[in-house]
Amino acid sequence: MKVLMFGWEFPPHIAGGLGTACDGLTRGLAKQQVEVLFVMPSASGDEDQTTVRIINASDVAAFHTKQEARRIFDKVQFLKVTSNLIPYLGPDEFEEKVDLEREKEWNEFRISFGQKYQFSGKYGKNLMEEVMRYSLVAAAIARQNQFDVIHAHDWLTYMAGIAAKRVSGKPLVIHVHATEFDRSGENINTQVYDLEKRGMEAADKVIAVSHLTRNTIINRYHIDPEKVITVHNAVDFSTREQREITRGVPEKIVTFLGRITFQKGPEYFIEAAYKVLQKTKNVRFVMAGSGDMFNRAVRRVAKLGISPNFHFTGFLKGEDVKNMFAYSDVYVMPSVSEPFGISPLEAMRANVPTIISKQSGVAEVLHHAIKVDFWDVNALADAIYGLLTWPALSAMTVRCGLEEVNALKWDNAALKVREIYESVTREKSKIQ
């Protein structure tokens, strides 16, 4: 079986768990005799292609006619509405306004057909334009390659998946690693929500990384429950290693590692740190990451007067992440909304006792991590203090946690995904 897979990032150059999940899943699929063509906007050339073939979208020319592109997007085009309220428009007037806005959008969207686009592959200010151009290139790639199934990871690639499906007729599986409600709470970006919903509606099957995410897909996006399947993420144990590191400080270390955004709950980590430091000074707290709440977090730490025992590292990747786990005595993930969360699995693999929020998808599969409500700062502080103070509790959490994550293999997740591939291809053949 051959799969055309669309992603946005792939190791070694990744910004978070999405790239890690894509890597683990493709390695697992290779063991299931599934050949993966992995398309990404901008490949660096140093990606490990032992078990996957990387296609760099920046090396592929897009379509040659504007009409052809319009046909691809006639059902996936999104409309930017300048105002939520347009008074006194009748149906005909409203339709005319929509047509004018759509034409304006096309004119503003600069496309040089037959040419290659240089994608950044980042998450910058031109992200939506890159998403649209990526879709055009995806259609060209679908025409140039033979495959059985299309698999699109996260909302950035859903339009690409839809475009590939339209030109090839092959079944589409989309993989929801997070929803706009996870990223933004109730203050969602309606443009992103629209793309997510269109992708889910167009898909033959939808993979959710947790039951929590599956419920969001069904209840918030109104997708048929029959086509939404949960496949939990996993952790790659083949890369596990014991690191001997000199920390340079005598205090114990409690770590937060992730984006410093509302979704990840950094403010609760800071408030818990303050409470722990009222009981003991023999601890340092580390916030490793970057995000839109970074400056706010720094100011709150300063206001609480805990700066001498609180450190900001900025964004970490690669070996620095592994070293950070090796430094840590406790790992904390206090996420407000976490579709899954691979980092706790990585921490437990590194023998670090772990605390997670009950509002995370990974809480569904972990029984030997300590679980607290993200908003319960007192409970979080008590859990941190307990793991720092009672060696027996910490040792038991490490031992049982290691056994638990050892059973969460990408091979098992890949087997479930292959079964999904087989089901959609069978259904497609029946229709034909």
What band does 139 get if pLDDT is binned at 50, 70 and 90?
very high
Q: Which residue, 186, 187, 71, is CA-closest to 135?
A: 71
Amino acid 123: pLDDT: 77
pLDDT of 248 over the 90 cut: no
- Which of 47-61, 71-85, 294-308 has the weakest average pLDDT? 71-85
The two beta strands, 330-333 and 35-40, are: unpaired
Amino acid 129: pLDDT: 86
Q: Stretch 253-264: mean pLDDT, rounded?
A: 94
| Alpha-carbon separation of residue 348 from 28, 271, 409 (angstroms) | 21, 24, 14
Amino acid 104: pLDDT: 61
Q: Check if the beta carbon of residue 362 is closer than 8 Å to that of residue 17.
A: no
Instruction: For domain 2-234+411-431, give the CATH number.
Output: 3.40.50.2000
Residues 6+ apart with CB under 8 A from 34: 1, 2, 3, 414, 418, 421
pLDDT of 100 over the 80 cut: no
pLDDT of 219 over the 70 cut: yes
CA distance 106 to 77: 10
Q: Which residue, 178, 228, 232, is CA-closest to 363?
A: 232
Amino acid 84: pLDDT: 46
- Which of 99-108, 112-121, 408-417 has the weakest average pLDDT? 99-108
Q: What letter represents residue 108's amino acid?
A: E
Amino acid 148: pLDDT: 97
Mean model confidence pLDDT for the chain: 88
The two beta strands, 310-314 and 205-208, are: unpaired
Q: Stretch 142-146: mean pLDDT, rounded?
A: 94
What band does 107 get if pLDDT is binned at 50, 70 and 90?
low
CA distance 174 to 228: 10
Query: Please, which residues bridge with residue 173 across strands?
Result: 151, 205
What band does 185 get if pLDDT is binned at 50, 70 and 90?
confident
> How many Cβ atoms are within 10 Å of 256's Cβ, its own excluded?
26
CA distance 73 to 198: 11
Angle at 143 between CA 140 and CA 148, to 5 degrees: 125
Q: What three-state secondary structure class fits 230?
A: strand
The two beta strands, 354-357 and 35-40, are: unpaired
- pLDDT, one tens digit per residue, over 376-394 is 999 999 999 999 999 999 9
What band does 74 get if pLDDT is binned at 50, 70 and 90?
low
Amino acid 125: pLDDT: 72
Residues 6+ apart with CB under 8 A from 418: 1, 29, 32, 34
Amino acid 103: pLDDT: 62
Amino acid 88: pLDDT: 53
- pLDDT, one tens digit per residue, over 400-424 is 999 999 889 999 999 999 999 999 9
Amino acid 82: pLDDT: 47
Report pTM.
0.83
pLDDT of 194 over the 70 cut: yes
Amino acid 80: pLDDT: 47
CA atoms within 13 A on the CB side of 128: 16
Can you give the residue ranges of every domain in the chain? Answer: 2-234+411-431, 237-406
- Sign, CA dihedral 308-314-316-319, equals negative
The dihedrals phi and psi of 59, each to the nearest 5 degrees, come to -100, 0
Residues 6+ apart with CB under 8 A from 209: 21, 175, 176, 177, 230, 231, 232, 233, 339, 340, 361
- pLDDT, one tens digit per residue, over 291-326 is 999 999 999 999 999 999 999 999 998 889 989 999
Instruction: For domain 237-406, give the CATH number.
Output: 3.40.50.2000
- pLDDT, one tens digit per residue, over 166-178 is 999 999 999 999 9
At what angle are helices 266-277 and 377-389 packed, to 10 degrees?
60
CA distance 333 to 356: 5
Q: Stretch 223-232: mean pLDDT, rounded?
A: 97
pLDDT of 108 over the 60 cut: no
Q: Express as a percent the part of the chain with pLDDT over 70.
A: 87
Same fold, 2-234+411-431 and 237-406: yes
Q: Check if the beta carbon of residue 137 is closer than 8 Å to that of residue 169.
A: no
The dihedrals phi and psi of 18, each to the nearest 5 degrees, come to -60, -50
Provide the 8-state DSSP code for 338: B
